Amino acid sequence: MPNLGFLVNPYAGLGGPLGQKGSDDPRLVAVAQEGGTPLSALSRAERAAAAFLQSSHGHTVVTGPGQLGQSCVPSAEVVSVPDVTHAAADTRAVVEAMQGRVDLILFCGGDGTARDVAAANRTGIPVLGVPAGVKMHSGVFARSPERAGQAAAAFLNAPGHPVELVEVLDIDEEARRRGRLSARLFSVVRSPVASGVRQNPKAGNGDMVAEVDAALGDYVRRMRPGCLYVLGPGTTMSALKDRLGGGTLLGVDLAQDKDIIARDLSEDQLLAHLEARAEARIVLTVVGGQGFLLGRGNQQISSRVIERVGPDRIDVICAIDKLNALEPQELTVDTGDTALDARLSGYCQVATGPGRRQVVRVVH
């Protein structure tokens, strides 16, 4: 009977709501431990584990101690880790201990965790990621925790299930904080073939064509006086912000009366601004190649922020070529709140040009 290796980086994704563009800074762990910050990675890991156990044919689960996996699957076999440091060394130690004992590693984290898993996985065990980080450019991640757990069970339930090579990408967080993307390939790993389960690697920017630029101009002309606009990250949004006085490329900014009034805000800062405003809207673009609207690089726009603004008050602007290049041709939301994700699913209109809209399916 094949075994599952289950690993959690409990501090993955901490930097997202704080507007930190990543979670690799060890100071974030200290802040989380002192302030009792909720660890969203643990709830995501629990969702993936529940989906796996529901679909599994009784496979043994091998995991790390405590928050490294055991807290999510109490019945699992626990590998020995010398010292839990709440750092990358924990991930590598658990993966090293799993060598020769498991047939698939299901890990919960972001691109940094994927790098550590790949580096320690010396025997080439197939891997699959549960999305829980801020940066998830790699193609090794499933589109949701539930899909990750179900795909892991399907892989172990079917001997001889095929695998394919996928890229592990990561970016320089310090460069990202300065507003510059610097992504590169770190490794190639084997992962289960699962159509529609894994997200595509993030595509490069190239959407600033005349039509979408005109759509931005049209949107600015129609902005309502007094309304607060929450502007997400990305090159399309950066071009919109340039029309309003200039904002950040990778942060979440605020605009009112056709002017940027605050830049690079955290979740709590957004909520504080929204408390004083009766009317607000959220403006987003689409992550190229992946099709994500929420949950990838814009975790500051959390479920609390969305509920405060209103799930029906979200505008999407995207170049038609980027939409047409998506495979499958659908948008994905992954806020961490499954009930909200279900409410956001269905269909939405995407502005692709001046007066032009394309209706696109939204899934979670």
Q: Do 256 and 292 reside in the same domain of the chain? A: yes
Radius of gyration of the chain (CA): 20
Centroid of chain to Cα 116? 18
Under 8 Å between Cβ of 29 and 125: no
Write the pLDDT tens digit of every residue in 238-267: 989 999 999 998 899 999 999 999 999 999
Q: Are 285 and 318 in contact (CB under 8 A)?
A: yes
Number of structural domains found in the chain:
2
How far, in Å, CA of 129 to CA of 191, rounded? 9
Is the confidence at residue 30, as pLDDT, over 80? no
**Going along 31-141, which residue ranges are E strands?**
61-63, 77-78, 104-109, 127-131
243 belongs to a structural domain: yes
Structure-derived torsion over alpha carbons of residues 163, 167, 168, 172, reported in degrees to the nearest 10: -170
Same-domain status, 8 and 132: yes
User: Cα separations (Å) of 53 from 4, 47, 73, 146, 150?
Assistant: 11, 10, 9, 11, 9
Residue at a domain's end among 192, 224, 241: 192
pLDDT at 360 over 60: yes
Domain range for 116? 4-192
Judgement on whether residues 222 and 181 belong to the same structural domain of the protein: no
Highest averaged pLDDT of the listed ranges 9-18, 25-34, 296-305, 349-358:
296-305
- 163 shares its domain with 258: no
The answer to whether position 205 is within a domain reads no
pLDDT of residue 271: 96
Same domain, 140 and 22: yes
Task: Report the sign of the C-alpha dihedral through residues 63, 65, 70, 74, in that order.
Answer: positive
Residue ending a domain, choose from 192, 218, 247: 192
Name the nearest CA neighbour of 336 among 308, 304, 288. 304
Q: Are 180 and 230 within one domain?
A: no
Last residue of a domain, one of 160, 192, 224: 192
Asked whether the beta carbons of 129 and 109 are under 8 A apart, the reply is: yes
pTM of the predicted structure, to 2 decimals: 0.69
Q: Is 285 left (phi over 0), alpha (psi -120 to 50) or beta?
A: beta
Domain co-membership, 217 together with 143: no
The region of weakest confidence among 79-88, 168-177, 185-194, 334-343 is 168-177
Q: What is the mean pLDDT of residues 129-134?
A: 90
| Residue 204, in any domain of the structure | no
Task: Give domain status of residue 201, yes or no.
Answer: no
Q: State the DSSP H helix or E strand holding residue 153, giving kind and residue range, or none if neither.
A: helix 145-157
Mean pLDDT over 12-37 rounds to 62
As a residue count, the chain comes to: 364
Residue 198 in any domain: the answer is no
Q: Are residue 233 and residue 268 in the same domain, yes or no?
A: yes
Mean pLDDT of the chain: 87
Residues 178 and 318 in one domain: no
Statement to judge: residues 292 and 332 lie in one domain: yes
Say if 79 falls within a structural domain.
Answer: yes
What's the CA gap between 276 and 273, in Å, rounded?
Answer: 6
- Nearest alpha-carbon partner for 363 in 152, 142, 193, 137: 142
pLDDT score for 206: 45
The rounded distance, in Å, linking the Cα atoms of 238 and 86 is 35
| Whether residue 242 is found in the same domain as residue 272 | yes
